[in-house]
């Protein structure tokens, strides 16, 4: 008998995304002191395509390290999970690197996989990418991370465990207090014995980090500047992209790489659908993303502080990166 496959996308966002986008842009660009924009808005269709290019650049080894660890250790990871288990992924993207875990799981059980994404196109791409795996059911949730996870957890069957995937280095986009708070919120949704596979980028020489976020070809610069282009397209703004430049620097105190967009001159920009204008001085920056780096050892303490136990850790030596298997206590 041919193994069953099933696909479904659940469009469950109730708020108006354009209204929410405008509100967050307004809040970030009118706040006193450092202007900022949420990094999640870097990933529209154009931004996501540019990031796919970034992931194969020689300077940016993070994505390849993540994939190497999952490919080499998928069976070991799956062997440490209870049966039966359903899978939820926070920010699945295309789902390409998730294949290794799902194929290993589907060799021992029919698997329900629930990617959680704010982009419907990413969810559709994920279904196409993974739809050829035997013995899988895919139900995509067009939701924010925690809202989607709540809905997935409510659908579990009695006795079924939940594996949450938070791959890449997305946790690094949070500062450390916010990251700990987020992990505690995830733990609050889970039951004791559930699992979280968490990807973390590790500390490495500063020059290597800066090269990864400011590549010689300029793809990361285009990725960063596309955020302003997106605001122009979706919120009827008048950013002149030629008057901004991409900059990346290492914040030693926070142990993070920061990406900014720096104004080349004094200027005023109007976001018409947001109903406001913002003035920038020459040299003033808009902070668009941080990527925090960790030591392998601190993940054990972070896990404990969030209500988990770090059961196992797999580390890539070529590009220091870790997959951490956390068990809800």
Mean pLDDT by 10 residues, the chain (329 residues): 57 68 97 96 91 95 97 98 96 91 96 92 90 94 95 95 96 96 98 98 97 97 98 98 98 98 98 97 98 97 98 97 98
Q: Identify the domain containing residue 135 by its residue range.
A: 59-204+294-328
> Model-level pTM?
0.93
Residue 117 in domain: yes
Query: Measured between alpha carbons, how far is 71 from 314 in angstroms, rounded to an integer?
Result: 12
Residue 128 in domain: yes
Residue 163 in domain: yes
Residue 220 in domain: no
Residue 141 in domain: yes
Residue 64 in domain: yes
For residue range 182-199, what is the model confidence (pLDDT) as tens digits?
999 999 999 999 999 999
Confidence (pLDDT) at 29: 98
Handedness of CA 21, 27, 33, 38 (dihedral sign): negative
Residue 14 in domain: no
Residue 39 in domain: no
Confidence (pLDDT) at 122: 85
Q: Count structural domains, the chain.
A: 1
Looking at residue 160, which CATH number applies to its domain?
Answer: 3.40.50.150
């Amino acid at each position: 008998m041919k193994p069953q496959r099933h696909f479904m996308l659940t469009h469950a966002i109730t708020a108006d995304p354009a209204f929410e986008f405008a509100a967050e842009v307004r809040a970030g660009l009118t706040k006193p002191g450092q202007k900022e924009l949420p990094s999640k808005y870097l990933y529209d269709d154009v931004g996501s395509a540019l990031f796919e290019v970034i992931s194969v650049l020689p300077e940016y080894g993070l994505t390849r390290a993540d994939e190497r660890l999952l490919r080499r250790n998928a069976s070991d990871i799956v062997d440490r999970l209870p049966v039966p288990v359903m899978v939820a992924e926070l920010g699945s993207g295309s789902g390409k690197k998730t294949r290794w875990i799902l194929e290993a799981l589907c060799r021992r059980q029919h698997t329900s996989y629930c990617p959680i994404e704010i982009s419907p196109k990413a969810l559709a791409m994920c279904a196409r990418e993974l739809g050829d795996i035997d013995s899988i059911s895919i139900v995509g949730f067009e939701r924010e991370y925690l809202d989607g996870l709540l809905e997935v957890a409510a659908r579990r069957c009695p006795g079924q465990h939940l594996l949450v995937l938070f791959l890449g280095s997305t946790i690094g986009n949070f500062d450390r207090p916010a990251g700990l708070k987020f992990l505690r919120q995830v733990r609050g949704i889970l039951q004791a014995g559930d699992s979280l596979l968490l990807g973390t980028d590790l500390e490495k020489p500063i020059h290597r980090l800066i090269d990864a976020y400011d590549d010689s070809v300029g793809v990361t610069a285009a990725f960063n500047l596309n955020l302003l282009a997106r605001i122009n397209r979706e919120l009827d703004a008048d950013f002149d992209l030629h008057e901004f430049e991409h900059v990346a620097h290492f914040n030693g105190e926070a142990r993070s790489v920061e990406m900014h967009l720096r104004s080349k001159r004094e200027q005023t920009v109007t976001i018409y659908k947001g109903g406001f204008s913002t003035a920038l001085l020459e040299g003033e920056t808009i902070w668009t993303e941080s990527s925090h780096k960790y030591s392998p050892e601190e993940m054990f303490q972070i896990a404990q502080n969030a209500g988990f136990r770090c059961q196992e850790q797999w580390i890539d030596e070529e590009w220091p990166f870790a997959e951490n298997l956390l068990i809800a206590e």
